[in-house]
Amino acid sequence: MTESLMDTKDVKDLLMKVSALGEDGGDVRLKRIVHRVVSDLFRTIEEFDVQPDEFWTAMSYLTRLGQANEIGLLVPGLGLETFLDLRMDQAERQAGIEGGTPRTIEGPLWLAGAPLSKGEARLDDGTEQGEVLFMQGQVRDVEGRPVAGAVIDVWHANTKGGYSGFDPSQSKYNLRRRIETDAEGRYRFRSILPNGYACPPDGPTQQLLDALGRHGHRPAHIHFFVVAPGYRKLTTQINIDGDEYLHDDFAFATRDGLIPEVKRVSDAAAIHARGLNAPYA
Ligand code: MBD
Ligand code: FE
């Protein structure tokens, strides 16, 4: 067996120069991370006998990934965003913090500045004939005490799985709102039932998933940030029960505790009695 190039003085010196480890100036932590990441890449190239044409194919892939603005899409698809969540869960356990709604990933489709209202909101602009959805809840701290004045930032896809701000067919901030909880910590909203998202079929993320023999679908879901002064921010989602991808999410975001019961009602009068029927301004 030939010796590993990694053990040669040439490669060791190369890595030291690339990362500037051992030289004055620069950020020491960054230098150590660059040293590690580049040496892991060298090691991978050696172990898999990666050929130059394969290497350059990968570099042009990364170029296209950035050009298509899909870095934030591949990251959850590779489980990296879920790994960061698992790390935060672990850090909280180690700090003795337990309970509450589980976190799950943010994904790449949140937008700042959604309209803000108190207590309730209608999220949809009324242009789609989707199944009407009502959701209500109460923000509580880990001791179960209601949190008044918390802000729920909620966003979700339309019936075609598209998000406003990214899907040019939708109005600005459609299906995106911020709702401040009332004195009892409660909020409620009306919207339309979303459909699952699928990666752009001709994009670089789907290209890699295809090569892995994977799909690029997410089950229908609704995203939330929950923030309140003096509290940690919660980033989470709920899934719509019954979706075929419920436990087969390409972004690995489904978690126990995030699949609420969906109650279907057929009585239009009952729906109207729920309120929030005012057309969105
Ligand atoms: C989404 O809607 C999403 O939530 C994630 C995580 C990735 C792609 C699309
Ligand atoms: Fe999403």
Nearest alpha carbon, ligand 1 atom 6: 107
pLDDT of residue 279: 44
Residue 79: nearest ligand to its CA?
A: 1
Which alpha helices (DSSP H) does the chain contain, by range?
A: 9-19, 28-47, 52-67, 71-77, 80-94, 204-212, 268-273
Nearest alpha carbon, ligand 1 atom 5: 107
Please tell me the distance from the alpha carbon of residue 163 to that of residue 158, in angstroms, as a whole number: 7
Encode pLDDT of 124-175 as tens digits.
999 999 999 999 999 999 899 999 999 999 999 999 999 999 999 999 999 9
pLDDT of residue 185: 98
Please tell me the distance from the alpha carbon of residue 50 to that of residue 40, in angstroms, as a whole number: 13
At which residue do the structure tokens 């109460």 appear? Answer: 138
Judge contact between 31 and 20, C-beta under 8 A: yes
Encode pLDDT of 48-67 as tens digits.
999 999 999 999 999 999 99
Question: Ligand 1 pocket, 107 CB below 6 A?
Answer: yes
> What residue ranges in 80-182 does DSSP mark as E strands?
116-118, 120-122, 132-138, 151-156, 176-180
- Nearest partner of 225 among 214, 236, 238, judged by Cα: 236
276 alpha carbon – ligand 2 mean position (Å):
24
pLDDT of residue 278: 47
Question: Ligand 1 pocket, 76 CB below 6 A?
Answer: yes
156: left (phi over 0), alpha (psi -120 to 50) or beta: beta
Residue 74: nearest ligand to its CA?
A: 1
**φ and ψ at residue 123, rounded to 5 degrees:** -90, -35
Question: Among 218, 221, 249, which is best to mutate for testing ligand 1, by the most ligand atoms less than 8 A from CB?
Answer: 218
Question: Ligand 1 pocket, 197 CB below 6 A?
Answer: yes
Q: How confident is the model at residue 276 (pLDDT cuts 50, 70, 90)?
A: low
Please give the domain boundaries of the chain with CATH numbers for all domains. 5-76 (no CATH), 101-273 (2.60.130.10)
